[in-house]
Amino acid sequence: MANRNRRANAPDVDNTIDLVQVDGLVVAKIIKHCHEEGSSAVDVAQGVLLGLVADTRLEVTNCFPFPKNLDENFDEEDYQMEMMRHLRKVNVDHLHVGWYQSTQQGAFLSTQFLESQFTYQTSIEESVVLIYDPLKTKRGFLHLKAYRLTPQAVALYKDNDFGADALKTHHLSFESLYQEIRLVIHNSHLVNALLCELSEMVPSYEGSQYLDLGTASVLEKHLRSLTDNVDELLQDTNKFNIYQRQVVKQQQEKQKYVQKRNLENTARQARGEAPLPDEDITKVFKPIPVPPRLEPMVLSAQIAAHCQQVSLFCSQALGKLFLSEALQQPQSSQQTVLKGSSKTA
């Protein structure tokens, strides 16, 4: 997706969106598409968001998915333009305002994801990305989030320099790599009335799975993903430490080389000989390439996201436990009263 919607001489990106309003129809379409194609750990469901911008509010009113099985001659840009032309004919909002993607256990951050969002934000200034997690939704937690890159991250991608000095210049860290935009789900009055009627038709036992207290499997998956990310970050840290040791060693060798040449020139001058010609030291000691710092920063951001999700999940699980304890107390007191009455009889 990093090659979509490119425009030359894009203006500087500024955060002009502070609220994303998503229609209930769009949420239903995203959920249906992600559960059909993005429910496994390998497949990822993606699609296009359509809508309009009203002041600082981005209204997402429609969407359509990307096809899963693509032929060699399939052109994604032509497909998008054809879909938007058809929607325009039936008087549906056809302005491109972003894209959506499914994820597993919140593990959506990657260099490809950032490149895709950078391409969207440089071509469509107000664009956002919606991240939907079907597994967490099955556990009773609707996970639908809206994200945008920060201006510092956009400026870093424009410079295409991901070294340590560039990160320091742009004042960029994993905490300021992207930002979450507040998201609200909007329904019309007719849809709200329909939902009220449907809620009366739903059996009472349908909501029991939302009080499921078996949290060990979900927590285990989060911790396993967190452990994998920490191991990858440790490997990148070791590579950077090796680079720093190589730089220090090269600096010491440069100093020894310069001192040796100075001593030799002094001895040659004492013998009345001409000094050695000046030599470019950078040709003798080639600079060591600096390892890019983007991947470790993305891993750090993913680790922070996993920690936040584990904390949120544990707090919600504790709330369920306290609720179940409160529900069991009246039952235990009622059983105690029944036992006392039976003994008296």
205: tokens are 């036992």
pLDDT digits (tens, 9 = 90+) for 42-55: 678 888 899 888 88
Cα–Cα distances in angstroms (integers) from residue 122 to residues 11, 59, 150, 172, 257, in the given order: 7, 19, 12, 18, 48
| Phi, psi for residue 185 in degrees, rounded to 5 | -100, 125
Q: Do residues 178 and 14 touch, judged by C-beta distance below 8 A?
A: no
Residue 124 DSSP one-character state? S
Q: In tens digits, what is the pLDDT along the chain, a chain of 345 residues?
A: 444 444 333 334 455 788 999 998 899 899 888 888 765 556 788 888 998 888 888 999 888 888 776 666 666 777 777 887 877 777 777 788 899 998 877 778 888 888 888 988 888 888 899 999 887 777 667 788 999 998 888 888 888 878 777 888 888 888 888 888 999 998 888 888 888 888 777 776 555 555 555 566 677 777 888 888 889 889 888 888 888 898 899 888 888 888 888 888 888 888 877 777 777 777 778 888 888 788 888 888 888 888 887 887 777 777 777 777 777 666 555 555 555 555 555
Is the CATH number 3.30.2320.20 carried by domain 19-198?
no
Cα separation, 7 vs 119, in Å, equals: 9
Q: Which pairs with CB-CB distance under 8 Å and at least 24 residues apart come from 123-127?
A: 123/5, 123/6, 123/7, 123/10, 124/5, 124/96, 124/97, 124/98, 125/11, 125/13, 125/14, 125/16, 126/16, 126/17, 126/53, 126/58, 126/97, 127/49, 127/96, 127/97, 127/98, 127/99
| Phi, psi for residue 101 in degrees, rounded to 5 | -155, 145
In the chain, domain spans: 19-198, 208-270+282-326
Q: What pTM does this model have?
A: 0.70
Per-residue pLDDT at 100: 92
pLDDT digits (tens, 9 = 90+) for 66-75: 877 666 666 6
Of 295, 291, 299, nearest to 242 by C-alpha is 291
pLDDT digits (tens, 9 = 90+) for 221-261: 778 888 888 898 898 888 888 888 988 998 888 888 888 88
Q: Do residues 56 and 16 touch, judged by C-beta distance below 8 A?
A: yes
